[in-house]
Amino acid sequence: MERFAGHRAEQHAGKFPKSTINGVSGTTAHDIRGGVRGDVNVSNRLFVFLSRIWNTTHFSTWICAMCLGGLGYHAIKRPNTTFDVFGGGSFDQEYFAAYNLVTPNPTPPPPTISTAQPAVTRKSGEAVVGEELNAKIGGRTTFTERFSLYPNVSDLGNYRTEFDINAATKLKTWPGWQISYSDVYITDPPTGLKGNDQVLSTGLRLTFGKGAF
């Protein structure tokens, strides 16, 4: 068997995400996303994958960690371009810290009422389907686009989506500089919290192993 993508670890810096709680928008001060993934070809077109991903944001103290794996197919496999479709399963754990929900007071004063909301921990089994495009532009720059859909099999009717675009330029063999956009959506956020999170980031990228190209 041939190793296709090796193991990849990424650290993003310089993030400028926006988040909204109780109708108030603000810039998230701390946003960390990372992961490790291994892909192994089992034939010229088929591959298996296993990955570990974690996200955390400071604004609503949301932590998401998941393990996923499955089977993929190289629909396009050229020296400078690959397009994959994949499917499998995942185990997802989300943690939302306690927060105060501020709502209008129907009988002021005061004009608003603050209600304490408890911390929430959720563990779910999920299916996963998606696609990923990797393209090499010139000798140093790569472009990646990825979309994943996670239907919740523990709580039917709910799901998550993740959409990512990334462009990276190699500085040396393993370090590089990147700019990326990410959009994460969940159908069932806790009361008062928004279900959509968008992040625009730029920073240092570290690649271990062969990588896509």
Q: Which tokens belong to 138?
A: 């010139």
- Is residue 190 a contact partner of residue 117, using CB atoms and an 8 Å limit? yes
Residue 169 phi, psi dihedral angles, 5° rounding: -120, 125
Picking from 125, 63, 119, the residue whose alpha carbon sits closest to that of residue 92 is 125
pLDDT at position 191 is 85
The domain locations on the chain are: 2-206
How many residues make up the chain in this entry? 213
Report the alpha-carbon distance of residue 185 to residue 160 in Å, rounded: 6
- AA identity, residue 93: Q
Cis amide leading into 118 (omega within 30): no
Written as six digits, the tokens of 123 are 């563990």
Residue 121's identity, in one-letter code, is T
Which stretches of the chain score pLDDT less than 50?
1-17, 21-22, 59
C-beta atoms surrounding 23 within 10 Å: 9
Tokens describing residue 58: 């400071």
Assigned CATH for 2-206: 2.40.128.100
> Which amino acid type is present at position 8?
R
At 72 the pLDDT is 97
Rounded-to-integer distance, Cα 71 and Cα 41, Å? 10
Quote the tokens at residue 126: 């999920």
- Strands, DSSP E only, in the chain? 2-9, 18-21, 24-27, 31-41, 46-57, 62-77, 81-96, 99-104, 112-117, 120-137, 141-151, 159-170, 175-186, 196-206
